[in-house]
Amino acid sequence: MKENTIKKLGWLIEEFNFLFKFKNQKYHQYDKTLANQIIACFSNSPDFTNDEKLKEMLINTLKTLEVLYPMLLKSA
């Protein structure tokens, strides 16, 4: 279970790269809404809310996404 959850974090970064990497920071409101919905799904998942180590890993992944996509995650 824990290994599968860790793989989901890798998928999260891959998904953001697939969806947003080639937009060259020209994001529309739809992009911002979608990005924040994806993050909300992960953040509210019991896999991450019930395990402190996994929660910390999620926070680190979200920080990485904020560095990679600062204009996308600035505000929805």
pTM for this predicted structure: 0.83
Q: Tell me: the pLDDT tens digits for 42-60? A: 888 888 888 899 999 999 9
CB-based contacts of 17: which residues, under 8 Å, 6+ apart? 68
Query: In terms of pLDDT, which residue wins out, 76 or 62?
Result: 62
Domain spans of the chain?
A: 27-69
* Most distant pair of Cα atoms in the chain: their distance: 37
pLDDT at position 75 over 70: no
Q: Tell me: the pLDDT tens digits for 18-39? A: 999 998 778 999 999 999 999 9
